[in-house]
Amino acid sequence: MNDQPELEFTGERFTPECVREIAYEHWHRYAWAGRQVNGLEVLDAACGEGYGSHLLGHSARRVTGVDIDSGAIAHARSRYARPNIRFECADCTQLPLDDDSVDAVVSFETLEHLEAQDRLLAEFRRVLRPDGFLLLSSPDRQTYSDETGYNNPFHVRELYRDELESLLGRHFPASQLFGQKLMFVSAVWRLNGAAAADWLTATGDGVVSGNQPLVKPLYFMAAAAAAPEFLPAGHALSLYSDDEESVYQHYNEEIRKHIRAGELLAERDAEIAELKARLARES
């Protein structure tokens, strides 16, 4: 990736300069997908500014990123130029690809932006080879909107779980759902031996995978006994949170306070500027 100006963040699509929750959510999806497309020919449908295609390109044999926004495609071509990645400007319901031409289709945060969802999945099925697969994401309308009262102005049609399952079933005979959620948890992991987990850590060189996190533990915990056979088996990985997600609630409250403080400072600065201008006119 070369040094190119950032693509403006409007709220409609993610850009890699975003931080905190939205960054974890979006980067995790592509890091997860990257583990499954090793050596394959991949379509990144609705690729946006191209960061996901770039990440997939580290493991895939070839990636084609498609987006309807010509500005995003121009940016992607400039910022993420690599021999095994190409970007095309097109409508994802009318893909510029031949039948049976890719091994995998990756399309994250796309469905909810379209009304023609059946047409989209039919097009994905058309370009996929018979043994190919689709990886997509879609917000759960129940938890994303209904329970929060949030109305994303860029979403055209969000789906409940049964609606998503029905949509998938009309185009793909087999499917498996996964859940994704950013959570604040306390983690306890085994330091010796293989852990039953796939730890994905973003570094300056890409995504590193291992059976241990790259972060260092803040505390050590130990089990001790008179002989190895007496040690408790336990799990290689244990996660803890509470049902009220209290840490997350506190975090959101603090963020709201900071946002409001910024708004108050902006209002104060505007008032001071107006007073200065008034004094200048009267003097």
- Which structural domain, as residue segments, surrounds residue 226? 190-238
Split at pLDDT 50, 70, 90, the class of 215 is: confident
The terminus-to-terminus CA distance of the chain in angstroms comes to 55
Whether the pLDDT of residue 4 is over 60: the answer is: no
Q: Are residues 130 and 213 in the same domain?
A: no
Split at pLDDT 50, 70, 90, the class of 238 is: confident
Q: Are residues 90 and 27 in the same domain?
A: yes
Q: Are residues 118 and 219 in the same domain?
A: no
Q: Are residues 111 and 212 in the same domain?
A: no
**47 in Cβ contact with 89 (< 8 Å):** no
Looking at the domain assignment, is residue 91 inside a domain? yes
Could you read off the pLDDT of 116-171 as tens digits, one per residue?
A: 999 999 999 999 999 999 999 998 999 888 988 888 888 999 999 999 999 999 99
Looking at the domain assignment, is residue 276 inside a domain? yes
CB atoms within 10 A of CB 119: 14
Q: Are residues 136 and 257 in the same domain?
A: no
**3 state SS of 278:** helix
Q: Are residues 121 and 39 in the same domain?
A: yes
Split at pLDDT 50, 70, 90, the class of 231 is: confident
Could you read off the pLDDT of 12-44 as tens digits, one per residue?
A: 555 555 445 667 787 888 889 998 999 999 999
Q: Are residues 124 and 164 in the same domain?
A: yes
Whether the pLDDT of residue 281 is over 70: the answer is: yes
> How confident is the model over 181-207, as a mean pLDDT?
77
> What are the residues whose beta carbons fall under 8 Å from the beta carbon of 274, sequence distance 6 or more?
none
> How confident is the model over 203-211, as a mean pLDDT?
83
Looking at the domain assignment, is residue 58 inside a domain? yes
Q: Are residues 32 and 132 in the same domain?
A: yes
Average pLDDT, the chain: 86
Looking at the domain assignment, is residue 177 inside a domain? no
DSSP labels, 70-107 = HHHHHHHHHHS-BTTEEEEE--TTS-SS-TT-EEEEEE
Looking at the domain assignment, is residue 10 inside a domain? no
Looking at the domain assignment, is residue 264 inside a domain? yes
> How confident is the model over 235-259, as a mean pLDDT?
83
> How confident is the model over 73-96, as a mean pLDDT?
95
Looking at the domain assignment, is residue 76 inside a domain? yes
Q: What's the predicted TM-score (pTM) here? A: 0.75
> Which of 18-45 are b and which e, b meaning 16 or more Cβ less than 10 Å from the residue's Cβ?
eeeeebebbbebbbbbbeebeebbbbbb
Looking at the domain assignment, is residue 3 inside a domain? no
Q: Are residues 201 and 152 in the same domain?
A: no
* Of 115, 143, 171, the domain-final residue: 171
pLDDT value of position 22: 62
pLDDT value of position 8: 54
How far apart are alpha carbons 132 and 175 in whole angstroms?
12
Q: Are residues 167 and 208 in the same domain?
A: no
Number of domains in the chain: 3
Q: Are residues 231 and 247 in the same domain?
A: no
Could you read off the pLDDT of 38-74 as tens digits, one per residue?
A: 999 999 999 999 999 999 999 999 999 999 999 999 9
Q: Are residues 51 and 78 in the same domain?
A: yes
CATH number of domain containing 100: 3.40.50.150
